[in-house]
Amino acid sequence: MTSPHHHNFLARILYIESKSVIAEFNRYLHLPLPPFGSLVKIDCRKYLTYGLISDARLKGESQAQNAEFFENPVPLDTEIHILPVGFQSKEIPSSIPIQDVPPEMPAAGDYVFMPNDDELQLFTIDLGFLKILLTDPIATAEGLIITAIRKFSTIYPDPQSYLIRVTQELSRLTYNDREIVGRILNRTINQNPKYGIDERIKS
The gap from C-alpha 154 to its chain's centroid, in whole angstroms, comes to 14
Half-sphere exposure of 3 (CA within 13 A, CB side): 3
Whether residues 178 and 97 share a domain: the answer is: no
Kindly report the CATH number assigned to the domain that includes residue 13.
2.40.30
Host H or E run for residue 109: none
The Cα–Cα gap between 38 and 22 comes to 15
* Structure confidence at residue 173 (pLDDT): 93
Are 82 and 47 contacting, i.e. CB atoms less than 8 angstroms apart?
A: no
Do residues 107 and 12 both lie within one domain? Answer: yes
* Same domain for 141 and 101: no
Task: Tell me, yes or no, whether 131 and 161 share the same domain.
Answer: yes
The conformational region for residue 187 under phi > 0 = left, psi -120 to 50 = alpha, else beta, is alpha
Domain final residue pick, 66, 100, 116: 116
- Which of 116, 146, 173 marks a domain boundary? 116
- 89 and 144 share one domain: no
**Residue 72 neighbours by CB distance under 10 Å:** 10
Residue 86: the pLDDT is 94
| 4 and 100 assigned to the same domain | yes
The pLDDT value given to residue 24: 85
Phi-psi region of 105 (alpha: psi -120 to 50; beta: other; left: phi over 0): beta
How many residues are recorded in the chain?
203
> Exposure of 2 by Cβ count < 10 A (0-12 exposed, 13-18 middle, 19+ buried)?
middle
Same domain, 142 and 160: yes
Distance of CA 117 to the CA centre of its chain: 14
Q: At what angle do helices 141-153 and 178-190 cross, to 10 degrees?
A: 50
Give the chain's domain count: 2
Q: Are residues 141 and 195 in the same domain?
A: yes
Question: Does one domain contain both 77 and 148?
Answer: no
Which residues in the chain come in under a pLDDT of 50?
5, 193-203
The confidence score (pLDDT) of residue 7 equals 55
- The whole domain housing 40 covers 1-116
Give pTM, 2 decimals. 0.81
Q: What share of the chain is helix, strand, coil (3-state, %, to 5)?
A: 35, 25, 40
Which domain-ending residue is among 116, 142, 158?
116
d(CA 115, CA 108): 20
- As a whole number of angstroms, the distance between CA 60 and CA 75 comes to 13
Cα torsion for 85, 90, 92, 94, to the nearest 10°? 60
Inter-residue contact 133 to 19 (CB < 8 Å): no
Query: In terms of domains, do 90 and 37 share one?
Result: yes
At 138-178, the pLDDT tens digits run 767 888 999 999 889 888 888 888 999 999 999 999 999 98
pLDDT at site 193: 47
